[in-house]
Amino acid sequence: MLSENIKAIRKSKGLSQQELAVRLNVVRQTVSKWEQGLSVPDSDVLISLSEVLETPVSTLLGETVMETEADTLKAISEKLEVINLQLAQRKSTRRKIIYWSLISLCAILVIVFAVLLELESPYLGWNYSDPETAVLGVLFHSFEWLFIRFAPIILAGATAGIILTRKRE
């Protein structure tokens, strides 16, 4: 909600991300991350943001309150904490998906390697005088050749990814 509000209000004021970033003394990428929901501004920057955009903090945070009551720093901090928790949960979910995808990739690589090992390249004994058999044999040989060369690299990369994405206690 905060991310959409920042973007909508910035655009309604006719400001680019770069112009807003300059006014807030941050880099453009920071504004981009706020608008994508990848991070949130801290409470001091949020107050500066509301001043630059000439919008109450409560509006930026998604409230439609018409009262002119001043937002307290504590209320802003609590709302930002909720947003940060949501971002952390989203990041954790992404990490789990990547972790289990990499484990699945490793398992598939091992299974394919075992199948190729068990088959012992049967295409080597085929009669290549038939064009369809020749094409099939070449395709099978090409797959086996590429797999044997690239599977160890992919397996090493996936293993490194598993190590990097595992849950740290």
What pLDDT, in 10s, does the model give residues 8-52?
Answer: 888 888 889 999 999 999 999 999 998 888 888 888 888 888 888
Residue 127 CA to residue 134 CA, distance in Å, equals 8
* Residue ranges covered by each domain of the chain: 2-71, 87-165
pLDDT band with cut points at 50, 70 and 90 for residue 169: low
Question: For the chain, what is the mean pLDDT?
Answer: 87
pLDDT at 71 (0 to 100):
54
pTM: 0.55
- State phi, psi for 27 to the nearest 5 degrees: -85, 155
Burial (CB count <10 Å: 0-12, 13-18, 19+), residue 26: middle
For the chain, first and last CA: distance in Å?
31
CATH topology of domain 2-71: 434 Repressor (Amino-terminal Domain) (1.10.260)
Q: Which long-range contacts (CB under 8 A, 24 or more apart) does 7-13 make?
A: 7/35, 9/53, 9/55, 9/59, 9/60, 10/35, 10/53, 13/53, 13/54
| Helix (H) and strand (E) counts in the chain | 7, 0
Cβ atoms within 10 Å, residue 42: 13
pLDDT at 26 (0 to 100):
92
CA-based angle 75:80:83, to the nearest 5? 135
Burial (CB count <10 Å: 0-12, 13-18, 19+), residue 33: middle
Q: Considering Cα of 44, then 48, then 53, then 58, what sign does the dihedral take?
A: positive
Q: Decide if pLDDT at 3 tops 50.
A: yes
pLDDT at 63 (0 to 100):
65
Structure confidence by residue, pLDDT tens digits, 44-85: 888 888 888 888 888 888 765 343 344 567 778 888 889 999
Structure confidence by residue, pLDDT tens digits, 115-138: 989 988 888 888 889 899 999 999
